[in-house]
Structure 1
Amino acid sequence: MLMNKKLTGFICMAMMITMALTACGGGNNAASNAGNKKDTEAENTLAAATEGPKYNFRLAETHPADYPTTKGDMKFAELVKEKSGGRITIDVFPSAQLGEEKSAIEQVQLGAIEFTRVSSSPLGEFNKEFGVFSLPYIFDNDDHVWRFLLGDAGNQLLDSLSSSRLKGLAYYSSGSRSFYSAKPLTSLEDLKGLKIRVQENQLNIAMIDALGASATPMSYGEVYSSLQTGVIDAAENNYPSYFSSKHFEVAGHFILDGHQRVPEVLMMSKTAWDKLSPEDQAIINEAALESVAFQREEWAKYEKESEEQVRAAGATITKVTDVTPWQEAVKPVIDANREQYKTILDAIDAAR
């Protein structure tokens, strides 16, 4: 009887110790379970992304491989590959290998190329709403531009591209545009009578005419030789393009008037977009938007480096401290187009 009581006591004590140990380890088990659940969810998400058809797309880019917009393209392609578990790949073709911007837009419309990154200036010839960015001096600075682009009006503009058989995905930075020439440029008067290269856009032509110069539409790849041989006297662009194209070698006078702030647009063929599942469309959208911050950072760095390089090479840089005479000269262009772009211009003013 005594042995039974002792045995019973030992059993009870063992059970109590086991229960205590289980209770003490409960928190660790819960944490472990939560961790396992998260791992499982991540695995499921990746598995879902890797399911479905495989795609290999092409992206047309005008600029060289080390240019900020091209780096933005490549970041976008990297994010798409990552988010799709390698199922969707995008090959970026820099340096106009697939054609200059106008040609690339046409090929994307047809679905011959799936993606491109272009300036919103030539895009205005395919979608009139984007012509607003070619109006001079409508933005005060870079902050003003991005307040507008990241707002509702900017998103609506991207959505409007669907009527042109294009899918707008995101905006990239391109700084401000100014004039440069082989001839000295120190004031508005120095532009008078010059033959100036512009992008193929009617508003650009109207702006140059209003400034008293002669507009010469021309593809980007022809500008260097045309400046060198005197076919044109001047051109206009931003610091990075002025540097990377080596235009400073044949046009060493740069006047910073900042007449336009024309954003870049990353877009996809509407034909190709419509063939994607909603899940794949979400992957493309998310990757495009996530690539914007990276591209803007790359732009800011390259812009600073470009300025330093062209100054070191001996280019003469003149900063316009009072843009009032320039604004007055182009006022007829703004007035002639105000009604057409009234809603967008109002939104730009509101972003100010």
Structure 2
Amino acid sequence: MTRARALPAALLAAICLVLTACGSPAGGEEPLVIRYGNIYPASTTFGKAVDRMAELVEERSDGAVRMDVFHSGALGSEQVHIEGVREGSLEMAHTGTAGIALFVPETALFEQWYAFDDLDQLARAFDDATPLLERMYADKGFTLLGTFYNGPRTLISTSPIRSLDDVQGKQLRVPGSDLYVRMANGLGARGVSMPLGDAFTGLQTGTIDALEGSPDDLRSGGYGSVAPYLTLDEHVYHPLSIVYGRDAWEALAPEQRELVQAAVDEVSAEQRAALEQANVDALTELEEDGVEIIEITDREAWADRVAPTSAGFAQRFGPDGQRIVEILDAAGRP
């Protein structure tokens, strides 16, 4: 009873509504239900990967384990998702710094702007950091099962951004993360933290001038219809940690843990392979829909603009954070 009262009210209500609508399976023993939260649309590489994960888990368990997936932030923000995993109203989610960094703040170091030039550098850094991250996550009540990858995050805007001068003063939507607000401000924009689900309306009403995300995310969200300029500054390649609540994970039978882990391993590899092509396809589709694709030739100058912000941010952390900084450097960080 104490645990139930502590759950985020909006998340608990949303889950109850959906599960009541779904009903119970007819006959036989009740399956183990794993609730999975995804803030991105089902059409993104993350949404497709999680849906595939759910298929594998149910097929390979002959229906004894079922995964209920909640796409497009149906249960709330990324912060609500990670709190739900920790408190037990969700079993699983994938999360970037706007979520997991609430409990493991050092993970935000992976999302410093212009830290990586490509996915290979990011993947190398995350692989090297995984033993450290597994211990840090466990200390805060999470089990790290793997990662999806996202990026490069770019800018989509209601007026063209062709240079650093055009960024100055822009109201730029960023995730609910102190790092992103600091980085946006360091670039010269004004970072506006708001849930992703509010960004479309924000662009329509002029509350924000721009938001950032990978081409695939931006296409899936339909933002090109209200923000017809996309600037390829490629400021972030980042991991999305796939986490399970530690207590819930330890309560699973060994064969159930093996089943889930195998599905995570398989679909995360597929998602990384699909991401690059998805972004290429998204850029083509956005351009066909009338979005102007703008390439910059001075990305190094953009990186230099936020370098003091990055250095100051990194100094906030203790030994674990400094170890992550070393891993980033070794992976090829500028």
Distance in 2, Cα, partners of 1:351 & 1:192: 31
* 1:114 corresponding residue in structure 2: 91
CA 1:140/1:300 → structure 2, altered by over 3 Å: closer, same or farther? closer
CA contact (8 A) 1:121 1:134 kept: no
**Could you tell me the percent identity over the aligned residues?**
29
Distance in 2, Cα, partners of 1:81 & 1:240: 28
CA contact (8 A) 2:159 2:227 kept: yes
Pair 1:349 & 2:320 matched: no
Pair 1:181 & 2:157 matched: yes
Distance in 1, Cα, partners of 2:301 & 2:276: 29
Deviation at 1:54, TM superposition (A): 4.2
CA 1:83/1:158 → structure 2, altered by over 3 Å: closer, same or farther? farther
CA 1:159/1:335 → structure 2, altered by over 3 Å: closer, same or farther? same
Unaligned runs of 5+ in 2: 1-28
TM-score relative to the length of structure 2: 0.84
* 1:326 corresponding residue in structure 2: 302
Distance in 1, Cα, partners of 2:167 & 2:262: 44
Match of 1:208 among 153, 164, 184: 184
Pair 1:76 & 2:56 matched: no
Match of 2:197 among 198, 204, 221: 221
CA contact (8 A) 1:129 1:157 kept: no
* 1:28 corresponding residue in structure 2: none
Deviation at 1:327, TM superposition (A): 1.5
Deviation at 1:309, TM superposition (A): 0.6
Distance in 2, Cα, partners of 1:170 & 1:206: 28
Distance in 2, Cα, partners of 1:152 & 1:205: 27
Greater shift, 308-317 or 70-79, is seen at: 70-79
Distance in 2, Cα, partners of 1:137 & 1:191: 16
Deviation at 1:159, TM superposition (A): 4.0
Q: Which deviations, in whole Å up to 9, do the C-alpha atoms of 1:61-119 show, x marking residues without a partner?
A: 12222221011112222232344343211121212222221111111111011111233
Deviation at 1:351, TM superposition (A): 2.4
Q: Which deviations, in whole Å up to 9, do the C-alpha atoms of 1:320-352 show, x marking residues without a partner?
A: 222221122111112113332321121122223
Letter in 1 for 2:57: V
Letter in 2 for 1:164: K
SS at match of 2:82: helix
Greater shift, 75-84 or 261-270, is seen at: 75-84
Unaligned runs of 5+ in 1: 1-51
Greater shift, 273-282 or 190-199, is seen at: 273-282
CA contact (8 A) 1:121 1:133 kept: no
Pair 1:102 & 2:83 matched: no
Compare CA radii of gyration and give the structure with the larger one: 1
Distance in 2, Cα, partners of 1:128 & 1:140: 23
* 1:24 corresponding residue in structure 2: none
SS at match of 1:96: coil
Distance in 2, Cα, partners of 1:212 & 1:97: 33
CA contact (8 A) 1:184 1:253 kept: yes
CA contact (8 A) 2:78 2:98 kept: no
CA contact (8 A) 2:142 2:244 kept: yes
* 1:32 corresponding residue in structure 2: none
* 1:264 corresponding residue in structure 2: 240
Pair 1:274 & 2:250 matched: yes
Pair 1:87 & 2:64 matched: yes
* 2:290 corresponding residue in structure 1: 314
Distance in 1, Cα, partners of 2:192 & 2:226: 17
How many residues get paired? 300
CA contact (8 A) 2:109 2:314 kept: no
* 1:255 corresponding residue in structure 2: 231
CA contact (8 A) 1:191 1:213 kept: yes
Greater shift, 81-90 or 136-145, is seen at: 81-90
Distance in 1, Cα, partners of 2:264 & 2:326: 27
* 1:196 corresponding residue in structure 2: 172
* 2:136 corresponding residue in structure 1: 160
Q: Over aligned residue pairs, what C-alpha RMSD do you find?
A: 1.8
Which has the larger share of helix?
A: 1
CA contact (8 A) 2:128 2:327 kept: no
Letter in 1 for 2:328: I
TM-score relative to the length of structure 1: 0.80
Letter in 2 for 1:57: I
Deviation at 1:153, TM superposition (A): 1.2
